[in-house]
Structure 1
Amino acid sequence: MRLAFLGTPDFAVQALAAIVAADHDVTCVYSQPPAPRGRGHERRPSPVHAFAEARAIPVRTPVSMRDPEAIAAFRALDLDAAVVVAFGQILPAEVLEGPRLGSYNVHASLLPRWRGAAPIQRAIMAGDAMTGVQVMRMTEGLDEGPVLATATVRIGPLDTAGDLHDRLAAAGADLIVRALADIEAGVAVARPQSAEGVTYARKIGPRIARLDWTKDGRTLDQKIRGLSPFPGAWFELPTAKGPARVKALLSQFEEADVEAGVPPGVTLDDRLLVATGDGAVRLLRVQREGKGPQDADTFLRGQPVPAGTRLG
């Protein structure tokens, strides 16, 4: 089919690669404009932009798809269908309805649960045992369209958002290729979403990243894993040079018996078991500011944290 692909981050690259490998005619790729990236903050193309450019696929980076000129240019492509994967803009009806067979989105949750910007992180932070990826036909409502295809993925007790991201990206790439084959053959069935169980995955901001050790251990463990690797939940570690910010990138909840009088945030052993409002959290991978991620054992060889240390 003659397609346009609209996507921006790494999550979308696998889907675009799979569509290209399936011999669809990707006539144009849309992505967010180049933005400051890396330590030098140089303006660089998005992962999808770079992938398409390397394969000589035309790329457009309009600031807004609501601009009349951008809408006219999109509709002039004379598309069979459009595929949208984490593009980063709300698309107007004039764009969604432009392709002959419609516009389709790959979304990383089991709709209607976790509509919105951060479904992978929010699923882990909420303690969900199962999530998935779905292909839906897009409508003007936020992630409200009917669903054509579903793949489920289990969330393990040590899964981080990064782990889940990679598994869902691979599942989504396979799913969209199969869905496009059904759409082209005229056998795709779009089923409306349930009106019950709707939740919204609000965008993750840096303000929520600091750990509050007075919260219960399960909630803190889920938060740590849900915010890993980015933006990374963090705490302050007392050092001889003053408090140092440390990211917690992997953890495990433990049903520890915390002695009476031990306040939340105090380490219960020499291996980063931390008391919480209920139970304890074992930190398994951390990252000191300005350093790379380290397993707890490696970190502790260079920065011992004895039992009784109070974390901020």
Structure 2
Amino acid sequence: MRIAFMGTPDFAVPALRALHQAGHEIVAVYCQPARPAGRGRKIRPCAVQQAAESLNIPVYAPVKLKYQPQEFEQFSSLNLDVAVVAAYGLILPSEMLNTPRLGCLNIHASLLPRWRGASPIQSAIWAGDRQSGISIMRMDVGLDTGPVYFTQSLPITTTTTAQSLHDDLAELGGKLIVQTLDYLHSNPNLPYTPQSSEGVCYARQLVKEDGKIDWSLTAQEIDRQIRALTPWPGTYSFLWDQPLKITKATIGSSTSQSEPGTVITADLQIICGDGQTIQLLEVQLAGKKAMPVADFLRGNVINPGTILG
């Protein structure tokens, strides 16, 4: 098929590579413009642009698409069978949605209609969902409201992190979009299913403040927060009036009636609101590298009774 691929972050790269490997004619890749990144704030192309250039696919990086007739003319001139969208970051205007012969398909990282929106992977873990998955959706003008061709689920376990689920879903998205296009090639009228009006919920855009830990919550709630928000925006508390980033933790084995946030063991088990503990495994002080707790404690003495928060 003749395809335009539209995506920006790492999540979209496996799908781009899978479509290329499957032999589809990817005539254009759309992504967000290169922006400053990293500590040096150097201009850096996004992951999808880097992948597209390595595959010698033309790259387009418009700042916006709405009310941009020249962008629509460019898109229309591609004479597409289908556009595939994966975490692109720009809203496609209705005239673009209707331009490809078979429409625009979105690779969405949730089991729609649950977790429409910006942060479906993190939201599923944080909420305590037992599964997530990929939905291949035919896009309409709503926010992730279009009918769905196929879904496939993956379990969320007590050790699943946002990074591990992201990577698994990215690979699954690549496989499922290739399968979907195979079916569409054989049957352009492939049926799809409108989303249910029940179970709809939205995953909002995350902000750094979401990572602040409230130790009065239960150990399970805090554990889910840490697993959901690592690596971004990251979870943190305060130690000696400095932010202490918690990059890895698990539910501890100790219990106590001490004040939530209290360090009760030398290996940094922290009391939560239900009397259970969170065992810190890897931490990072501002300006330092993340390190295992054992290494951190070699240079920092934290006595039991210290209160975080």
Q: Give yes or no for TM over 0.5.
A: yes
SS in 2 for 1:173: helix
How far apart, in 1, do the equivalents of 2:75 and 2:125 lie? Answer: 36
The answer on 1:284 being equivalent to 2:281 is: yes
The answer on 1:268 being equivalent to 2:264 is: yes
How far apart, in 2, do the equivalents of 1:12 and 1:104 lie? Answer: 13
| Cα displacement string for residues 273-310 of structure 1 (whole angstroms, at most 9, x for unaligned residues) | 11111122112222222223222223223324332111
How far apart, in 1, do the equivalents of 2:200 and 2:4 lie? Answer: 29
Aligned structure 1 segments of 4 or more residues deviating by more than 6 angstroms: none
One-letter amino acid of the structure 1 residue matched with residue 307 of structure 2: R
Gaps in structure 1 of 5+ consecutive residues: none
CA contact (8 A) 2:254 2:269 kept: no
How far apart, in 2, do the equivalents of 1:33 and 1:148 lie? Answer: 30
- Following superposition, the deviation at residue 254 of structure 1 comes to 4.1
SS in 2 for 1:225: helix
The answer on 1:30 being equivalent to 2:26 is: no
How far apart, in 2, do the equivalents of 1:303 and 1:183 lie? Answer: 60
The aligned counterpart of 1:121 is 122
The aligned counterpart of 1:8 is 8
SS in 2 for 1:284: strand
The aligned counterpart of 1:179 is 180
CA contact (8 A) 2:85 2:105 kept: yes
How far apart, in 1, do the equivalents of 2:202 and 2:253 lie? Answer: 30
The aligned counterpart of 2:133 is 132
Give the length in aligned residue pairs.
306
The answer on 1:296 being equivalent to 2:293 is: yes
The aligned counterpart of 1:75 is 76
CA contact (8 A) 2:117 2:202 kept: yes
Gaps in structure 2 of 5+ consecutive residues: none
How far apart, in 2, do the equivalents of 1:232 and 1:192 lie? Answer: 35
How far apart, in 1, do the equivalents of 2:116 and 2:150 lie? Answer: 16
Please identify, of 211-220 and 94-103, the stretch whose mean Cα deviation from structure 2 is larger. 211-220
- Following superposition, the deviation at residue 253 of structure 1 comes to 2.6
SS in 1 for 2:279: strand
Identity %: 44
CA contact (8 A) 1:160 1:250 kept: no
| Cα displacement string for residues 149-198 of structure 1 (whole angstroms, at most 9, x for unaligned residues) | 11211112122111111111111111111111111111733111111000
One-letter amino acid of the structure 2 residue matched with residue 33 of structure 1: P
- Following superposition, the deviation at residue 103 of structure 1 comes to 0.6
- Following superposition, the deviation at residue 9 of structure 1 comes to 0.2
CA RMSD of aligned residues (A): 1.4
One-letter amino acid of the structure 2 residue matched with residue 127 of structure 1: G
CA contact (8 A) 2:234 2:247 kept: yes
Alignment of 1:86-235 (within 5 A): 86-186=87-187, 188-235=190-237
CA contact (8 A) 1:85 1:107 kept: yes
